[in-house]
Amino acid sequence: MTTFHPFRMDRRLRVARGIVWGTMGVIVLGFFRAQILEHGRYELKSRTNRLKAITLPAPRGVITDRRGAVLAENVPGYTVSLLPADTAAMRATLWRIAPIVKLDSAAIGRVLARYLRVPYQPAVVLADAPFPVVSTLEERRLLIPGLVIQTEPKRHYPDSGDIAHLIGYVGEVTEQELAQRRNAALGLGALVGQDGLEREYDDSLRGADGLRFVEVTALGHVVRDHGASPTLRPVSGAPLRTTIDLDLQRFVARIFPAGQRGAVVAMDPNTGEVLALYSAPGYDPNRFVGGVTPDYWRTLSENEAHPFFDRAIQARYPPGSTWKLALAAMALKRGLVTMHSHMPIPCRGGLQYGNRFFRCWQAKGHGDLTLQEAIAQSCDVYFYQLGLKLGLSSVLEDANAWGFRGRTGVDLPGEIPPEFPTGTDYYDRIYGSRHWTSAVTLNLAIGQGENAQTLISMVRLYQMLASDGREHTPYLVHPNIPSDVSLELSAEQLAGLRQAMIAVVERGTARGARREAISIAGKTGTAQNPHGPNHGWFIGFAPADKPRIVVGAIIEFAREGPYVAPLVARVIARYLGVDTSAASVVRMVLPSDTAPATVQVLPSALPDTVRHDTVPPDTTRKDTTHVLAAPRDR
Amino acid sequence: MFSRLREIDKPLISVALALAAYGLATLYSAGQTDVPTAVATIWVRQLVWLALGAVAAALVFRTSPRLLEWASPYAYGAIVLLLMITLVIGTGAGTAAGSKSWIAIGGHRLGQPAELGKLAVILMLARWIADRREPPATLRELVYPGVIMGIPFVLVMLQPDLGSAIVFVTILFAMLFWAGTKPQLLILLASPAIGLILAFSTIAWGAWIVLLFGLLLWWRSYVWEGLAVMMANVLMGVVAFPFWRHLAPYQQNRLLAFLNPEVDPRATGWHVIQSKVAVGSGGFLGEGFTLGSQKRLAFLPAQHTDFIFSVVGEELGFVGVVVALTLFLALLLVLLRIARRATDSYSSLCVFGIAGLLFTHIVENVGMTVNLLPITGIPLPFFSYGGSFLLACSLAMGIALRVAWESRQSGYAEL
């Protein structure tokens, strides 16, 4: 009997056939399950494998001045991004394109960090790529897996530095901001306003980003736009019309003495509309578009003039003699004096009070003055006595009621409140109960002592003087809730104060500001600076009879001579359409006050609008402490 | 010559030609990627190999089985020698760059001797079994065929090429089965391998040893045989963990990824996941010829060799898969029919061995694309790019055609 007997072979053949059929059946079932039953699942996996979403940034809203002239617009720019398969591929690709896009190892590190934060989004390598770089990259597309080049709206500020503090700039959102603004539809890598109006009105300016899908290979090569997948169109941000007069703003920036630090604020006294807001030194907001270079950031942050600092709303200065108008208004409101009242002691160059001698800025004395003359001459002795007549508690009460302790509420980020005592308990706390005398009243009376105001806060005082005594909160875009703060002065009293201020310009301390065609009312001031030359103030409005503009200016270390009053006068003249060609540089006599105030000029903390996190850690400022004043407490 | 052609086995040649055409078309499609690679033009080279294979098949078709039977030991010896040389001068390629599978002269890779080795082992086993006329009845009688299979098996394992080595084992079992070896004996022979696998769970292994003991008593095997089998199983249980550690990490990972591809989706499980995604996204009708996105975008690895069947699944869908599997099924059934009607036992064993070889390759390669089997890099007949295996398949078809022709001549009617 052989093993190859047909009968036995047939049996084995049946077994073999059974095994073949059975196995094939199992395999077909396996494919049936994968291809028919689980088709949807794998179809989805296939799509997520190869389709990558790329954000289409929405154009930000255009910002214009009051007449529609552009302050901030969008121009087309190219962004170069990478959509890598993994970190190793990302690093390799970055090194490959480094010579083309000029990346050093630190820049590569930053791109990698950005990629690791959002691994499934394209990481921006170059936010504002010049065209030659873009074309070079396009030629080498096959060698650069995951290369995404997009035209994106790029922010542009035609007036760059002239409007820097006003407009601010845009930058990539930080993780802290993301945490703070959880409600906003923000993703990592989104551009948000970082300062000024860009930040204040970011929510309306930003618009809604779109999405598009691209098909990528396993190595990350972007093969084609995926036509079938719906593209979500970006919705551009709402335009923003401001109250700024661009012509005036440019004029201020042009005539502001070069190299000086200071600020200018121009307002419509009848509405609170801010016409110009300038702070010097400034910076170029265009250089922040698409990421500031570390070099430029270092230049700015290590600059001891602090260019980021908006001196109009973020710096406190002792108001000096500009404060005298506040004191005069308090006395008039309380009916203690009229414009023609004399003080008991005429000015002989100073006032003996207790065991101290408080000098007047003019050592030879002013003689016997009326209030009107005292304002014009800025006589300290007169105001010492006026302050004593009012009494400390009245001064504190009125100053607090008129808002000299609070922010003005201007619609700009980072405004700091001025400093002023809340009441007498403030002095108890500082010096200890019974350890201070009403000598503090004398200091307060002439704008020294425990009083530090921001420029915009003082401009607000003059706005009230220039209008009917009521406060109009300064604003750039939206008028704020009507303020119920008022000086509560009669029309005659207001007119008297204006008359006194006209006298300041015509005959008094601000003769340099005189203009033939217009009557400017205003007041000079000197802010004592323990660190060097004093700071010069001038705040004025015109026309004096029916004011249309109030302008305040401060120049730090006015060492070059008191340009301040002529500067303000030229700004006013420009706005009112008066010829400014005959700009004369007249030296202005500024009162040199005596009160030994050591009020802080710069705040001890930097404004929170300054961003620390967009730059490498080595560029953080180190040498700022000597610029900041010593602690105020004595 | 033409009279012979007229008597040729038409089902076999038409199925083989259909598979070759299907495979070539799929290979062409596999090269159509969005970022072009060297794979784009390899279908032309495959065409050249097909032509060479056709010539070789024609030559074998003209060779008498008697001549083959006489030449089998020489072919076997030559292949063993070649495999030894490969271990010395061999080079790696592709996904297994670290192994020594290829014979290369002057940097130009000629081929993988292991593929031809499979055919040589079939011929040698057929000759040995046919000479005996009786099936091996005891384990001792299985030593000789074990050695015939074992030498190339060990040489291939040393390359290392686990996939091909396993094919040698299945060929041995297929041919012993066809020779009429008792199933009990085959189970006893296979028991050490089962013991090895079950050794990873102590309870399962213990149960297996008890079951095996029962089986040995039931089948009344010789005492020394039973002892040898038990010893071998115990030994496997002992060496299982050292053996596991001895496996190359890629081999371990393949087995782990088979059990759970999601363990490490970007590395170990990548092949399985991407293959399943490609096949699954194909759906019923597929994405269209040359249009498979997973393949086009290079997510599918080794799309021209190991995972070429995933291309079929993605582009032609379930329909294309069923057509391909039907053709493979037809091929195997035709081969079984030829083996059944062969005029002599040598021819019959040769053809059945060929069927076993192709069956193993088809099931393993197709099964791994949907994760029914762990990944081993063995090619799919007529589809995967590769000259050596295509040549081996062509030679196998030549042998089968000759055997079919012989039986036709001796009076078997056409089905």
A414-426, pLDDT tens digit by residue? 888 998 888 888 8
Q: Establish if B415 belongs to a structural domain.
A: no
Any idea which residue has 């002095």 for tokens? A427
Upper half-sphere CA count for residue B294 (Cβ side, 13 Å): 36
A13: in domain: no
Residues constituting chain A: 634
Residue A596 is predicted with a pLDDT of: 31
For residues A555 and A429, membership in a common domain is answered with yes
**Which pLDDT value is given to residue B53?**
95
What is the CA A248 to chain-centroid distance, rounded?
19
Structure token pair of residue A147: 């290369």
Sign of CA dihedral B233, B235, B241, B243: negative
Residues A484 and A391 grouped into a single domain: yes
User: Rounded to a whole number, what is the distance in Å from the CA of B368 to chain A's nearest CA?
Assistant: 10
Model pLDDT for residues A5-52, shown as the tens digit of each residue: 677 888 899 999 999 999 999 999 999 999 999 999 888 888 887 887
Between strands A240-241 and A63-64, the pairing is: parallel
Q: The domain spanning residue A518 has which CATH number?
A: 3.40.710.10
**A429 has pLDDT over 70:** yes
**Among the listed ranges A111-115, B69-73, B402-406, which one has the minimum average pLDDT value?**
A111-115
Q: For residue range A366-386, what is the model confidence (pLDDT) as tens digits?
A: 888 898 888 888 888 899 899
pLDDT at A202 exceeding the cut of 70? yes
**Nearest CA to CA, how far is B254 from chain A (Å)?**
19
Tell me the C-alpha distance between B144 and A93, whole Å: 58
Read off the pLDDT of residues A204-243 as tens digits, 9 standing for 90 and up: 888 888 888 877 777 777 776 655 456 788 888 899 999 9
pLDDT for residue B415 is more than 70: no
Model confidence pLDDT, tens digit, residues A59-68: 899 999 999 8
B262: pLDDT confidence band, cut at 50, 70 and 90? low
Judge if A297 and A428 occupy the same domain.
yes
pLDDT per position as a tens digit, B135-181 = 888 888 888 999 999 999 999 988 878 888 889 999 999 999 999 88
Q: Are strands A274-280 and A453-454 parallel, antiparallel or unpaired?
A: unpaired
- Local confidence band at A595 (pLDDT 50, 70, 90 cut-offs): very low
Nearest CB to A217 within list B34, B133, B277: B34
Share of chain B above pLDDT 70, in %: 93
The SS3 call for residue A446 is coil
- Same domain for A237 and A280: no
Residue among A387, A382, A408, A419 nearest A527 (CA): A419
pLDDT in tens, B43-85: 999 999 999 999 999 999 999 999 999 999 999 999 999 999 9
- Position B96 scores a pLDDT of 56
pLDDT computed for residue A632 by the predictor: 36
Question: What phi-psi label fits residue A579: left (phi over 0), alpha (psi between -120 and 50 degrees) or beta?
Answer: beta
Residues of A in contact with B372 (CB under 8 A): 26-27, 30
Q: Indicate whether A26 belongs to any domain.
A: no
pLDDT of A506 over the 80 cut: no
Report yes or no on A265 lying in a domain.
Answer: no
Size of interface A-B (CB pairs under 8 A): 136
Instruction: Give the three-state DSSP class for A172.
Output: strand
Closest CB to B321: pick one of A31, A45, A50: A31
* Better-predicted residue by pLDDT, A535 or A12: A12
Q: Is the pLDDT of residue A441 over 50?
A: yes
- Give residue A580's pLDDT: 53
pLDDT-derived band at A562 (thresholds 50, 70, 90) equals low
Provide, as residue numbers in chain B, all residues whose Cβ is less than 8 Å from the Cβ of A45. Answer: 277, 280-281
Identify all chain A residues contacting B276, using CB atoms and an 8 Å cutoff. Answer: 34, 42
Nearest chain B residue to A1 by CA: give it: B134
Q: Which member of A28, A36, A142 has the closest CB to residue B284? A: A36
> How far, in Å, CA of A308 to CA of A564, rounded?
22
| Full domain range(s) for residue A95 | 52-241
What is the percentage of chain B residues whose pLDDT exceeds 90? 46
Same domain membership, residue A189 and residue A111: yes
Quote the pLDDT of residue A509. Answer: 65
Interface contact A3-B340, CB threshold 8 A? no
How does residue A182 score in pLDDT terms, banded at 50, 70 and 90?
Answer: low
Say yes or no for a CB contact (<8 Å) between B280 and A43: yes
Classify residue B224: in a domain, yes or no.
yes
Average pLDDT estimate for B310-333: 95
Domain that holds residue B69: 2-409
How far is CA A27 from its chain centroid? 69
Is B414 among the domain residues?
no
Residue A564 sits in the same domain as residue A424: yes
Task: Quote the Cα angle for A464-A468-A471, to 5°.
Answer: 40
Mean pLDDT over each residue of chain B, to the nearest integer:
87
Number of domains in chain A: 2
Of the ranges A278-292, A455-469, A563-577, the best mean pLDDT one: A455-469
A contact set with B (CB within 8 A): 2-4, 8-10, 12-13, 15-17, 20-21, 23-24, 26-28, 30-36, 38-39, 41-43, 45-46, 49-50, 86, 142, 215-219, 221, 223-224
Chain A residue numbers touching B322 (CB-CB < 8 A): 28, 31
* Overall number of domains in chain B: 1
Percentage of chain A beyond pLDDT 90 is: 12
CA distance A111 to chain B (A): 23
| β A191-193/A170-172 pair status | antiparallel
| Whether A338 contacts A373, CB under 8 Å | no
Do A481 and A364 lie in a common domain? Answer: yes
pLDDT at A606: 34
In sequence order, which residues have a C-beta less than 8 Å from that of residue A346 and are 6 or more positions away? A365, A366, A367, A368, A369, A381
Share the mean pLDDT of chain A: 79
* Residue reference for tokens 């941000």: A237
Range with lowest mean pLDDT among A128-142, A220-234, B306-320, B335-349:
A220-234
Tell whether A348 and A214 lie within a shared domain: no
Least confident of A502-511, B21-30, B199-208: A502-511
B103 three-state secondary structure: strand
Domain identity same for A364 and A484? yes
pLDDT of A608 higher than 60: no
Sequence length of chain B is 415
Mean pLDDT of the B187-191 span: 86
pLDDT value of position A615: 33
- Cβ <8 Å between A27 and B135: no
Span A572-601, average pLDDT: 50
**B355: chain A residues, CB-CB within 8 Å:** 16
Q: Please tell me whether residues A415 and A338 are part of one structural domain.
A: yes
What is the reported pLDDT for B295? 85
Say which residue, A625 or A406, is predicted with more confidence: A406
User: Considering the domain boundaries, does residue A151 fall inside one?
Assistant: yes
| CATH number for the domain that contains residue A104 | 3.90.1310.10
A487 shares its domain with A403: yes
At B268, the pLDDT band (50, 70, 90 cuts) reads low
The answer to whether residue A260 sits within a structural domain is no
pLDDT over 90 (residue A58): no
pLDDT tens-digit readout, B195-251: 888 877 788 888 888 998 888 888 877 788 888 888 888 888 888 878 778 777 777
Q: Summarize the confidence of residues A555-583 as an average pLDDT.
A: 71
Strand duo A453-454 + A350-353: pairing: unpaired
The minimum CA-CA distance between A178 and chain B, rounded to whole Å, is 31
- Report which listed range, A46-55, A80-89, A623-632, B377-386, is most confident: B377-386
Contact A16 B293 (CB under 8 A): no
